[in-house]
Amino acid sequence: MPELPTGMVTFLFTDLEGSTRLWEHSPEAMRQALIRHDALIESLTGAHDGTIVRPRGEGDSRFAVFAQTSSAVTAAAAIQQAMHAECWLTPAPLRVRIALHTGEADLRMGDYYGSGVNRCARLRALAAGGQTLLTAAAAQLARDYLPTGVRLNDLGEHRLKDLDRAEHVFQLIIDGLPNAFPPLRSLDAFPNNLPLQLTSFIGREKETAEVKRLLDSTRFLTLTGSGGSGKTRLALQVAAELLDTCKDGAWLIELAPVSDPAFVPNVLAAVLGVRETQNARLIDVLTDYLYDKQALIVLDNCEHLIMACAEMADTLLHSCPNLKILATSREALSVMGETAWRIPSLTLPDSNGAETLEHLAGCEAIQFFTERAKAARPDFILTNQNAPAVVQVCRHLDGIPLAIELATTRIRGMSVEQIAARLDDRFRLLTGGSRTALTRHQTLRTLIDWSYGLLSETERTLLCRLSVFVGGWTMEACEMVCCGEAIEPGEVMDLLLQLVNKSLVTLEEHGDDTRYRLLETIRQYSRDKLLDSGEGEAMRDRHMNWCVHMTETLVLGFRKAGKISLLKRRLDLELDNLRTALEWASTRNLDACFRLAGAVFPIVRSAETLGSTLRSLLPEALARDAANAVHTAPAVRAGALWALGAIYLGQGDNATAQLILDQSIQIYRRIEDKQGLAEALATLAAGYEMSGDVVAARKTLQEATTLFQQLGENWGLATSFDSVAQGLFFTGDYGMARACAEQSLALCREIGDTWAMVNPLLVLGQIAAINGESEMARARLEEGLAIARELGDSQLAARILSALGKLARDQKDFGRAKVIYAEVLDLWRRAGNRGAVALVQQLFGYMVVAEGDYPAARSHFEESLSIRQRLDNPLELAGPLEGLACLAAAEGNDRRAARLFGAANAIRGVSGFFLESYDIPEVEQAYAYLHTRLNDSDFDAFWSEGHDMTVEQAITNAFSTDEYRIDHTSRP
């Protein structure tokens, strides 16, 4: 594809009129005709310096862009002339409608976004077949450059179907072609009272299409959702797009200002111009008037008038066969024949900011934030620097349009980073909405106050108590934590479902589990109310005790059944609750803190958020426990020590890990707890393997194995063999690693635990690859990948895909490797694992170095370095520095390469230089290759220059372009 223009460009949108009927009548003729149609548009677009971007909308629509408006107009005229002259074999000739608009280009990922694109698409919808329309912006620029035989006709102002400002529309008059067309299908062409909107309609294409589809099959549809979720805006957009199907109009009935239910029919009558008579009820007058009308009634904001709206809707629908009603409400009206559809929040990024700007482009919440921020401060743009903060704001505000809009009003005087940092006090921050908006829409607190005020007293009590849950809960958890004073056990289910119906609680399906969740904004509001009630500490204690009871019960039951994969999936759903309970327990109840740590860590140790929580909390909690006059029970303390030791081990601090694990083992020996002792010994054995003490590792593993056998604990045996296999693999003892992994895999197959099979399959696949057994490696890895995908474990899948990508790299199959790593990159971005994203960027860099694309390689390595800078862990910087060193060596810049290798070595601060040599053999190869080109004294001198740099100097040197020239003088 040619390079797409930026800056001010002209968009050209086309569409075929009546194509659906032609497809149904003559599909083969249409298939051939469409090929010719596409060829004509593509050739004429290219002939006039335009570029086809992609199909836009239906399969027969086209989207092109031009750097010059005059070229776009000439192309449009040529397309209409060619289409008119063509001899079509379809039952009716193809007639194309075209729209042109000139505006600022917002180009991302090879596509255009923003209000200019939307405006052109909306203008196209007004045209008839054979007609070409221009906005005023395009017409003004084209007026003096029209081709011969072409002129402009002023059609006046028309409201487009996005309810935005009116557009002054012009028609292209082309000599020799039909130029008389029906009136434009704008909002003004149909009876309605839909209000003009001063802001653009962002995203919601899927939702708009779904609501229109539902209204095809039902006459009464209610859009439900939390306050500020965009129900009204979506309803208005749908009404606008359906106007041409409602010959008697679409009518908005605004009920927010109405407080007396008796006046609901009066509001409808006032909008329709119907007068009340003395001899008949107003509702009867309305039904008589609407009896034969083909109209759409939009009942907006029904939640405080539920019964009155329900009664009126029921009466109208029974009496008026061609009438349709579209309602918006926090809860359904519960009328016979009603379809309730909950509006989702705007789509959010998959992770906490790991995506590139191009990936964020397709996210509705980010688009919405950017558009509204530009309205508040025209110079605002989304950049790599502010994108993480924008993502944080949108995620913390749950993609709620009103909340995001309120946040962007602060952009006039605050940076996005400052807004993000103050979201914990969001109810003070998010004020200052439009003075003309509904009062409850001017601040976030008043918006939720409105919903809260409509609840019964017991519903309010439950809502406040539910705020202790973070990340969701089950019905059983709600019953255990929230029952008590004011709420009886038998009431919980009905009360909870009422909160779901009122759009304050969200219902989610996770496989066979039904879970409930509060949007974070609702949770913080409810938490404040809970604290005001004086129940805050008591409810957090109950939540903590539930977490302890739940985890211990689940661990005991699932371990006996040997189905740890089921347990992991269950506890993964509770990670946020467990983290919150651990934080509370660490300062309030050390017994509960240690019991939680010991129970959940072996199952969820792959969860980085919980591991970091334990790492930060346990050392201080254990120290306080040791200083207390009354200690926690020995077994409880030993479990916490074991968990902490395992965390240190996973982070590479073997020395500290062994000291802490020794303490745990001593306690377990003293109290003769075989289960705990076996687990701690298995973990310690892996630590010995990683530090190279093979004798101690095997002796410790043997003792652990004997204990697990005595206990009949096959799962413990399997996981201990797995841990040791991984330790042996990373130290290069591939023979013993394979033996341990095979024993682990055999035990996992015996107990039927598929999740536990994945790690040994990964180790076996990697070892087979090292031994040159490519087919065996692929078979092992693909078996593990299939399991990970079946279980929905994206992080395990990413690890296995990384190994498959390396296998492809080793075989020089870079095409396949790039496809695999692209998926890995997407998975890690979704998981929010920036370190993994940085590593994959490095791997891409090495591949394009091998292909000789040095500029692309530098881009990947610098992206990796930038990400790792933000991780604020100096050790993480060594990898991308080594990548840039390899690039410099490939370019022949030997001095730069040696200096970067020296800087990387200093940052690692260890004697074992190539910590990633298995994943990245290119580093060791480049290092050795460099030695063949430099004599020892030169290499040592350059390497020492880099080694003596500070971290800041090393980063500056890495990003510098001063040394890009090929350095021939350093060659021996």
907 pLDDT more than 60? yes
**127, 97 Cβ separation under 8 angstroms:** yes
CA-nearest of 869, 805, 795 to 838 is 869
Cα–Cα distance for residue pair 27/23, rounded to 1 Å:
5
Q: Would you tell me how many other CB atoms lie within 10 Å of the CB of residue 608?
A: 15
Long-range contact pairs involving 738-741 (C-beta distance under 8 Å, separation at least 24): 738/763, 738/764, 738/767, 741/767
Amino acid at 159: R
DSSP state of 876: G
Handedness of CA 789, 794, 796, 798 (dihedral sign): positive
Which residue is it, tokens 């000439």?
74
Cα–Cα distance for residue pair 17/61, rounded to 1 Å:
10
**Residue-level pLDDT at 238:** 92
The pLDDT > 70 percentage for the chain reads: 88
**Residue-level pLDDT at 958:** 81
874 pLDDT more than 70? no
**Residue-level pLDDT at 871:** 64
Cα–Cα distance for residue pair 673/635, rounded to 1 Å:
8
Radius of gyration of the chain (CA): 33
Cα–Cα distance for residue pair 224/46, rounded to 1 Å:
47
Cα–Cα distance for residue pair 920/840, rounded to 1 Å:
11
Cα–Cα distance for residue pair 716/398, rounded to 1 Å:
40
**Residue-level pLDDT at 60:** 81
**Residue-level pLDDT at 461:** 94
- pLDDT band for position 539 (cuts 50, 70, 90): very high
**Residue-level pLDDT at 200:** 64
**Residue-level pLDDT at 166:** 78
* pLDDT (average), residues 255-278: 86
Would you put residue 534 in left (φ > 0), alpha (ψ -120 to 50) or beta?
A: left
Map residue 412 onto helix, strand or coil: helix
**Residue-level pLDDT at 438:** 44
Task: Quote the mean pLDDT of the chain.
Answer: 83
Structure tokens at 297: 């009634």
CA-nearest of 44, 53, 77, 41 to 5 is 53
More confident residue, 6 or 356: 6
Q: Within its chain, how far is the Cα of 218 from the centroid?
A: 32
605 pLDDT more than 70? no
Kind and range of the H or E run holding 340: strand 339-342
Which residue is it, tokens 């790792």?
868
Alpha-helical segments (H) within 672-713: 674-691, 694-711
**Residue-level pLDDT at 781:** 94
691 pLDDT more than 80? no
User: What does residue 297 show for φ and ψ, rounded to 5 degrees?
Assistant: -105, 125
**Residue-level pLDDT at 560:** 62
Cα–Cα distance for residue pair 549/547, rounded to 1 Å:
6
78 pLDDT more than 80? yes
Cα–Cα distance for residue pair 451/435, rounded to 1 Å:
20
* pLDDT (average), residues 382-403: 83
Cα–Cα distance for residue pair 926/929, rounded to 1 Å:
5
728 pLDDT more than 90? no
pLDDT in tens, 121-135: 889 988 899 999 999
Cα–Cα distance for residue pair 615/620, rounded to 1 Å:
10
**Residue-level pLDDT at 967:** 40
More confident residue, 611 or 582: 582
Cα–Cα distance for residue pair 67/86, rounded to 1 Å:
28
The pTM for the full model equals 0.63
List of residues 6+ apart from 59 with CB closer than 8 A? 34
**153, 181 Cβ separation under 8 angstroms:** no
Map residue 268 onto helix, strand or coil: helix
**Residue-level pLDDT at 965:** 39
Q: Within its chain, how far is the Cα of 367 from the centroid?
A: 13
What is the DSSP pairing of strand 513-517 with strand 506-510?
antiparallel
Q: Would you tell me how many other CB atoms lie within 10 Å of the CB of residue 749?
A: 14
Map residue 333 onto helix, strand or coil: coil
- pLDDT band for position 761 (cuts 50, 70, 90): very high
pLDDT in tens, 317-357: 999 999 999 999 988 998 889 999 998 888 887 655 556 67
The pLDDT > 90 percentage for the chain reads: 29
Residue 344 buriedness (CB in 10 A; 0-12 / 13-18 / 19+)? middle
* pLDDT (average), residues 484-506: 86
490 pLDDT more than 50? yes
pLDDT in tens, 910-969: 423 333 445 567 888 888 888 888 888 888 898 888 888 887 888 887 887 654 433 433
Map residue 14 onto helix, strand or coil: strand
Which residue is it, tokens 């083969």?
28
425 pLDDT more than 50? yes
HEC string of 277-331?
A: CCCCCHHHHHHHHHCCCCCEEEEECCHHHHHHHHHHHHHHHHHCCCCEEEEEECC
Straight-line distance from the first to the last Cα atom of the chain, in angstroms, rounded to the nearest whole number? 45
**Residue-level pLDDT at 441:** 45
- pLDDT band for position 970 (cuts 50, 70, 90): very low
* pLDDT (average), residues 232-255: 89
* pLDDT (average), residues 778-804: 87
